[in-house]
Structure formats: C-alpha cells, structure tokens
Amino acid sequence: SCISSTKKAVKISQFTKTQKGVRMNDVLRKDFLRNYDNFMTATFVDNRTRKTVSFREVVRERIERLEKSVIDGRKYKPFILYS
C-alpha cells in the first residue's frame, strides 16, 4: 500500500480542509511519499521482455512510446501489468 507502511488505516484526523481542498498532514504525507517511492522503485520481471524493471522505468518508457505514437500518428499499445 502506498498510504501507510504500518498497514494501519488512515484516519480522518490526518487530513486538514483548506480553501483549495484537503491536505494530508506532514506525517501521513511523508509516509505516503516514502511508500510511493518504494513502490515505484520496486522491481519485477516484465512478462513481455523477461527483463527486471521498476515501475518508474515502465512509466518512463511508456510515456516515451506514447509520445512517439502521437508524433508518428501510429496506434499506441498500452502496458498491461497483469495478464
């Protein structure tokens, strides 16, 4: 989970309502970002290429492929994580 490394439920008291919306408190935001970074840098074996990659690498590569598809006017084949 990207929210809490301790697997505890997020509490409403960890959020503050502002004029622009709702914000996480500093502790929760720091925990969330640490877990998000752990998730994005975790590696797995891509079924398509059989290479070990991170989610961050997949996102970067997919953005580049989408950009190339738009520029070249070709169809874009999305990355499918589970199949």
Burial of 62 (C-beta count, 10 Å sphere; 0-12/13-18/19+): middle
Q: For 8, what's the count of Cα atoms within 13 Å in the CB-facing half-sphere?
A: 7
Residue 67 has pLDDT above 90, yes or no: yes
Instruction: Average the pLDDT over 55-78 and give the result.
Output: 92
What pTM value is reported for the model?
0.66
Reported confidence tier of residue 80, pLDDT bands at 50, 70, 90: confident
Q: How far apart are CA 71 and CA 78, in angstroms?
A: 16
| 8-63 confidence digits (pLDDT tens) | 788 999 999 999 999 999 999 999 999 999 999 999 998 888 999 999 999 999 99
Question: What pLDDT was estimated at residue 1?
Answer: 47
Residues in Cβ contact with 78 at an 8 Å cutoff, skipping those fewer than 6 apart: 62
